[in-house]
Structure 1
Amino acid sequence: MGNCFSCFKVPAAPPPSAEPSADPASCKPLQEASDQEDADMDGGMTEVLHRQLSEKRANELAQSNGNSKLLLDGSVRMSSGSRTFCRIPLGGRTGSDKQRNGNNNSLVRSVSDSKVVALFEQYKDGAEDAILADGIERLCLDLAVRPDEFCVLVLAWRFEAEQMCCFTRQEFVTGCRTIKVESIRGMQARLPELCREVQQDPELFKKLYRFTFKFGLDPEQRILPADMAICLWRLVFSQDEPLMLDRWLKFLEKHPHVRGIPRDTWNMFLNFVETVGEDLSSYDDAEAWPSLFDDFVEFENDQVNQNVTKAISCD
């Protein structure tokens, strides 16, 4: 029978036999009144049965929990002390509730922690609880990428890695949860998406760019060595190289006295390439640029003047 009582009907007792009326027309009102009476009786008995069964079910629940209460809408609230555990409609869970719960489950994309940990264990160093240089090389090999590719830098950024060539257990596990991967195949599929997100969003690229400076530092370092800075500039701009990048890096290579790059200089270089034109005509030395940029612009202007002088002499 289930929990639906709306179709439950008790057949009315058969009416006592009566002599047929001589006038058929006079029997019609009597028959209609009898039918109406039967309908009223059926409806009344259905309502009584429904109420009795609801009360019986509520009493059964009340016996199993002394704090249960029957609500006005026919549901039962089961409580223990001041806490309410559930609210059970007597008719069972409605279709809308089932649909809503199903939709919520479909929106949640869970990652198996056990699979992520197992993946970490494949590349973990034997002596330390981290993936070190050898493990990262094997990881990159399985991902079919080189360790010096842009996507690996993006992966390290999303993992919030503190040091180059090192993923701690926490960094790796938390990072996999963040990008929602639990296998090599999933990571391979996700990496191109992560790179596109960074390339299409200037704010995300700015965060990646600033992370790169910290990523290249050794512990206790505060200034990035010039040779490391040159490598990282080439890497972080490998997908969208500024027009003046090559000249800037050659300038650093030709001036060995520039031994390190401070954080401010690193951060301001992104503003520098976005503000100054290819010919450096928009550069204003009155602004608060790092002194190294002044030296670079002066060097470039000298190069241009020398080229002009040589061209005139040849003529």
Structure 2
Amino acid sequence: MRAVLDRLRAQLAQDPQYFQQVYNFTFEFSRPPGQRSLALDMAQAFWGLLIPHGLEGRALAHVSAPDDDEDEDMEDEEGWKPEYLEWWFEFLNEKGGKGVSKDTWQMFLEFVRTIDARFEKYDTEAAWPSTLDDFVEYARGRLGVS
């Protein structure tokens, strides 16, 4: 049993597809029957477990958004940093919401994978949940980026 758990833990940390499957399952598994959203404290607890694990093992390695500017190399672009998860929690607690929708849960994973470290390349015209739009403004403020 220990060997299987060690293997699954390693797979979760290193395999982006497996990580996404477990991540999406976590929302469905954790949501109370008949509810459409996950309580904020539950969402934060699961994010606190999953996101750092995926970052450490590279399952959440930064993926650059498609770049139309062919003269700039974006392969070494920095992405989500571990401390941003605490910012996310602070932002959500300040905002005062009670739950996290499935859309926000799923899009947050894509957001973590694709956002640049300074939140400068965030596309406000894309179909992100408004909570993520607001968080980008919050994070830019913390970074001193306009």
State TM-score, norm by structure 2. 0.74
State the Cα distance separating 1:274 from its structure 2 match: 1.1
Q: Which runs of 5+ in 2 are unaligned?
A: 56-79
CA distance in 2, matches of 1:302, 1:194: 38
- Aligned runs of 1:72-221 on 2, under 5 Å? 187-221=1-35
Which residue of structure 2 lines up, in the alignment, with residue 245 of structure 1?
A: 85
Alignment match of 1:286 (pick from 113, 125, 136): 125
Larger CA Rg, structure 1 vs 2: 1
Runs of 4+ in 1 over 3 A off after TM superposition: 302-305
Offset from partner CA, 1:171-226 (integer Å, 9 cap, x none):
xxxxxxxxxxxxxxxx1221001111222211111101101111211111110111
Question: Is the 8 Å Cα contact of residues 275 and 282 (structure 1) preserved in structure 2?
Answer: no
Question: Is the 8 Å Cα contact of residues 31 and 38 (structure 2) preserved in structure 1?
Answer: yes
CA distance in 1, matches of 2:47, 2:124: 23
CA distance in 1, matches of 2:12, 2:140: 34
Report sequence identity in percent: 39
Question: Is the 8 Å Cα contact of residues 213 and 266 (structure 1) preserved in structure 2?
Answer: yes
Relative to structure 1, the CA distance from residue 300 to residue 278 in structure 2 (aligned partners, 3 Å threshold; closer, same or farther) is same
Question: Is the 8 Å Cα contact of residues 14 and 54 (structure 2) preserved in structure 1?
Answer: no
Counterpart secondary structure, 1:287: coil
Counterpart secondary structure, 1:284: coil
Question: Is the 8 Å Cα contact of residues 12 and 54 (structure 2) preserved in structure 1?
Answer: no
1:272 and 2:111 are equivalent in the alignment? yes
CA distance in 2, matches of 1:191, 1:302: 41
1:225 and 2:39 are equivalent in the alignment? yes
Q: Which runs of 5+ in 1 are unaligned?
A: 1-186, 309-315
CA distance in 1, matches of 2:142, 2:12: 35
Greater relative CO (CA pairs within 8 A, separation 6+): 2
